[in-house]
Amino acid sequence: MGANAQTTVQKFLSGAVLTAEQQNTSAATGVPVFATTVTRDAAFGGANKVLAEGQTCYLEDSDVVQVYKGSAWTPSSGLTFITGASFPAVQSFSLPADTFTSTYANYRIVVNRTAASCNLLMSWRGRAGGVDESSAQYLSAHIGCDWGGSTAIFVGQSGWGTSAPFGRTDTADIGGWVMDIIAPKLSGFTKTMEISMGGQSGAAAMSGASVFYATNSFDSMTFLLPSGTFTGSYRVYGYANS
């Protein structure tokens, strides 16, 4: 718990004494700071207090500013940072377990690819409980062009696949991708929409969509190549539900 984290939200009654310690805590934080939602709820739900729409707090465990909107606490911004890391030269990497939770319905992942050893299609798989879902239930379709803009490139699966292709690496890699992930944790189909950029040859720019066409509840994803390696970093954000 941080030095200025609060465990109470004081409400003064008529005749109550305002202490220097209470005043200093309020001045130091600007908004109430709590370790978790548990300490937040205990403080705001204490005696003599009723939550009012527009009240604000900060949570240390998730590094999120929240606003009370009349019926629930919600993030104060449309996108909330969840996790991120760099990865070395690997054939695949997975997001941490429980990256996707019931807190958000939809997510965005941004990847900056800085190197690759091959000119191959990337693909993704859903993941739950530390295990990749590799059943043949994936479909995807993308269209793009090379740097000259004159070559149409279509990438689609002729049948069900064990992963969903979405972008291409390049040995002269300056690429990356942005992916919106729709309802991965909710019971149902997981859908994605992607924009990807390759290197200096092949499919320089591609956009499209993909789906895992079966009921699922994924808490993570894996991104992989059929062979070779790629290097870079990723950031994952949750879209506010309201």
- Do 42 and 32 meet the contact criterion of CB atoms below 8 Å apart? no
Q: Are 84 and 113 in contact (CB under 8 A)?
A: no
Q: Is residue 103 part of a domain?
A: yes
In angstroms, the CA 86 to CA 63 distance is 20
At residue 133, the pLDDT reads: 97
- Residue 13: CB atoms within 10 Å: 7
CATH assignment at residue 71: 3.40.1620
43 and 159, same domain (yes or no):
no
How many domains does the chain fold into? Answer: 2
Ramachandran category for residue 147: left, alpha or beta (phi over 0 → left; psi -120 to 50 → alpha): alpha
The dihedrals phi and psi of 193, each to the nearest 5 degrees, come to -130, 130
Same domain for 109 and 35: no
Query: Residue 27's pLDDT is what?
Result: 59
Q: pLDDT tens across 157-180, in order? A: 667 899 998 888 888 767 899 999
Q: What does each of the 242 residues of the chain score in pLDDT, given as a tens digit?
A: 555 566 666 667 777 787 877 776 665 666 888 888 888 888 877 655 677 788 888 888 877 888 888 888 887 778 889 999 999 999 999 999 999 998 899 999 999 999 999 888 889 999 999 999 999 999 999 888 877 766 667 776 667 899 998 888 888 767 899 999 999 999 899 999 999 887 655 557 889 999 999 999 999 999 999 999 999 999 999 998 87
Q: Give the pair of three-digit tokens for residue 3.
A: 């030095």
For residue 201, the model assigns a pLDDT of 57
For the entire predicted model, the pTM comes to: 0.74
Q: Which domain holds residue 117?
A: 79-239
Structure-token pair, residue 17: 């004494």
Q: Verify that 138 and 193 share a domain, yes or no.
A: yes
Examine the domain organization and report whether 108 and 187 are in the same domain: yes
Is position 213 within any domain?
Answer: yes
